[in-house]
């Protein structure tokens, strides 16, 4: 055997290479920390987004309470306004029914209120004459003032504001008008005495009542022309002269 053949490596039979190759080493496995980094970061982002979405809702209970309080206040204001619109009107002494019992009940209620409320104020007690019930205008003033007091203190819409208005404006106004109308009057002034005419407390006479028909006709048809002249004082009947058209 030649030296050339002795040093030649033996190959596999049939020319097939039977040499076992070593597989490449696998890449180093990622650490546990690197493997969880993606999911944890995603979860953190999700939690942060939820936190931002929930932050505006944290104060929601307080806002709901504020809204409920506001709605309740509006409901009370609406109820008070409705009560004022549907409040019963004050009765009128000047237009009271021609019924003795009705008039007596009205005066009895007024007298009780005067003693309990109105006369507690010194200026009211000083202004009210002892002949007040002989003055229909004074009775009328006191009747509506009594009902204004009741609405301010006892009615369905009673409030501090109404009470303040009663004290600041309504009561002083009535006291001022009573003092001006009958501040110096007395019971003696209503008694008949020789040489002195009685005070006129009955139904007043409307001036020019007999000429209203003439005035109505002029205003309805000829208001752009001069008015008819009034009749002479003391004349009776519709004697006004028609105004002359140009």
pLDDT in tens, 4-49: 555 555 555 555 455 555 555 555 444 455 555 667 677 777 777 7
pTM above 0.75, yes or no: no
Q: Does 235 score more than 70 pLDDT?
A: no
Q: Does 169 score more than 90 pLDDT?
A: yes
Residues of the chain with pLDDT > 90, as a percent, come to 40
Q: Does 224 score more than 70 pLDDT?
A: yes
Higher pLDDT, 103 or 69: 103
Whole-angstrom Cα distance, residue 69 to residue 55?
23
3-class state of residue 241 by DSSP: strand
Higher pLDDT, 240 or 65: 65
Rounded average pLDDT over 191-200: 74
For residue 120, what pLDDT is reported? 96
For residue 30, what pLDDT is reported? 47
Other CB atoms within 10 Å distance of the CB of residue 182? 20
**In the predicted model, what is the mean pLDDT of the chain?**
78
pLDDT tens for each residue of 42-70:
777 777 777 777 777 676 677 677 777 77
C-alpha R_g of the chain: 52
Higher pLDDT, 139 or 89: 139
Question: Quick one: which of 210, 246, 200 has its CA closest to 230?
Answer: 210
Whole-angstrom Cα distance, residue 93 to residue 110?
11
Q: Does 176 score more than 90 pLDDT?
A: yes
Q: Give 170's DSSP letter.
A: I
For the four alpha carbons of 153, 155, 161 and 162, in that order, the dihedral sign comes to: negative
Which tokens sit at 31? 């650490």
Whole-angstrom Cα distance, residue 123 to residue 110?
18
Q: Does 149 score more than 50 pLDDT?
A: yes
Higher pLDDT, 156 or 139: 139
Q: Is residue 204 a contact partner of residue 183, using CB atoms and an 8 Å limit?
A: no
For residue 143, what pLDDT is reported? 96
What band does 175 get if pLDDT is binned at 50, 70 and 90? very high
Question: Quick one: which of 153, 131, 139, 155 has its CA closest to 106?
Answer: 139
pLDDT tens for each residue of 107-136:
999 999 999 999 999 999 999 999 999 999
């Amino acid at each position: 055997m030649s030296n050339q053949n002795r040093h030649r490596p033996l190959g596999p039979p049939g020319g097939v290479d039977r040499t076992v190759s070593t597989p490449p080493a696998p890449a180093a496995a990622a650490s546990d920390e690197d493997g969880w980094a993606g999911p944890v970061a995603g979860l953190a982002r999700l939690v942060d987004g939820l936190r931002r979405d929930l932050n505006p809702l944290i104060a929601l209970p307080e806002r709901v309470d504020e809204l409920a309080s506001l709605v309740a206040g509006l409901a009370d204001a609406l109820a008070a306004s409705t009560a004022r619109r549907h409040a019963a009107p004050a009765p009128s002494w000047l237009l009271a029914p021609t019924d003795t019992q009705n008039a007596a009940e009205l005066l009895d209620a007024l007298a009780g209120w005067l003693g309990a409320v109105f006369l507690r104020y010194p200026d009211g007690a000083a202004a009210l004459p002892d002949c007040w019930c002989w003055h229909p205008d004074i009775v009328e003033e006191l009747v509506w003032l009594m009902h204004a007091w009741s609405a301010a203190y006892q009615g369905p819409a009673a409030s501090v504001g109404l009470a303040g208005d009663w004290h600041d404006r309504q009561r002083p106004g009535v006291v001022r008008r009573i003092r001006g109308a009958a501040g110096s009057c007395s019971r003696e002034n209503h008694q008949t005495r020789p040489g002195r005419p009685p005070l006129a407390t009955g139904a007043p006479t409307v001036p020019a009542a007999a000429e209203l028909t003439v005035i109505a006709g002029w205003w309805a048809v000829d208001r752009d022309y001069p008015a008819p002249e009034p009749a002479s004082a003391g004349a009776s009947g519709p004697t006004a002269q028609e105004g002359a058209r140009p």
